[in-house]
Amino acid sequence: MTAPNGVWVYAEVRSGELRPVSLEILGRARAVADELTTHLVTVTIGAGEGLARELLRYGSDEVVAIDDPLLDRYDTRLYTDLLEREARAGDPAVLLLGATRDGQDLAGRLAVRLRTGLTAHVTSLEVDPEHRLVGWVPGFGGGIEAGITCPNHRPAIVTVRPGVFPPPTPGEARGEVRWVRPGLDESAFGSRRVAFQPKGTGVDLTRSDVLVVGGRGTGGEFDRLQRLAHRLGGEVGATRVATDAGWVERERMIGQTGVVTHPKLAVVLGASGAVQFTVGIEKAGFVIAVNRDPDAPIFEVADLGVVGDLAPIVDRLVKELGEA
């Protein structure tokens, strides 16, 4: 693949902040652009002056900032229109987005409009010897890894899972911001905001150094886990069973369909260790597992395993940490 028109990254802004996944992608995209011997462009919508300039510190050669006071809220149709317009004009070889709710929404629509391919939810990116971008996606419940390319159409659109690439350290600003001012009024929006009520707690487990993770074996007693997380200065995470049961918010689900985390410490309580779950903690620095079944697969990924009933173990830990 020749890539004269660059690798593009869509940098998502939410509640006045850059989404961490966008920065993670930028760290990796710089290397991808270098390997494809092309430039790196960051496109952002509604970022405002400060964030657009901040993006120059993450290795892009150019930041395209689509800006309007009305763009502080996401609108599926409008955001797709704006990105489509830029992508048609710039004709990039690659467009990378975070596999967030909005990123997935945009990626699918853009792929249809631009008549190109979409590789969704990749966990790694590489450039093959023929200079094609390959996105790797776990398939069949984590049993295989599929490498997907888009050789005949452009841009190759790819969504990247949060937490799979380390966040880059910002450096010296380089490149320039190119401002695009579409001049909007309310009629540009496909929806009207009546009120804004955020769902969930807004917690981002990929940012936490310590996670206390509960599964079915907790019986839903997440207050207990919360106390331990509090003592350890961490956050509570959960398996799919626990989030499906409504014991904690969906945003705390770890694993293949949840978030991929990389804490320094993960304490996993009452989770069997299904592969769809463990892919979300395999990058943890140290894993402690408590399970009453000595044959539970979670012990295969744990650095320290404790066989026993989790409730008294957690209560004792909370007590002793409190005293310490």
Ligand X SMILES: Cc1cc2nc3c(=O)[nH]c(=O)nc-3n(C[C@H](O)[C@H](O)[C@H](O)COP(=O)(O)OP(=O)(O)OC[C@H]3O[C@@H](n4cnc5c(N)ncnc54)[C@H](O)[C@@H]3O)c2cc1C
Q: Residue numbers of the site for ligand X (CB under 6 A)?
A: 141, 215-217, 239-242, 253-258, 270-272, 274, 276-277, 290-293, 296, 309-310
Identify the three-state secondary structure at position 114: coil
- The radius of gyration computed from the CA coordinates of the chain, to the nearest angstrom, equals 21
In terms of CB distance, is 117 or 258 closer to ligand X?
258
Q: Which residue has the tokens 């705390």?
A: 252
Measured distance CA(160)–CA(178) in Å, rounded: 25
Report cis status (omega within 30 of 0) of the bond before 155: yes
User: Nearer to ligand X by C-beta: 80 or 100?
Assistant: 100
Q: Residue 6 or 215: which CB sits closer to ligand X?
A: 215
Give DSSP secondary structure letters for 139-197.
EGGGTEEEEE---SSSSEEEEE-TTSSPPPPP-S--SEEEEE-----GGG-SS--S---
Kindly tell me which of 78 and 205 has the beta carbon lying closer to ligand X. 205
- Helices 310-323, 222-232: inter-axial angle, 10-degree rounding: 30
Contact 110, 101 (CB under 8 A): no
Measured from the CB atom, the residue of 123 and 256 that comes closer to ligand X is 256
Nearest to 104 by CA among 114, 92, 118, 93: 118
No. of helices (H) and no. of strands (E), the chain: 9, 17
CB nearer ligand X, residue 157 or residue 271? 271
Q: Say which amino acid occupies 147.
A: G
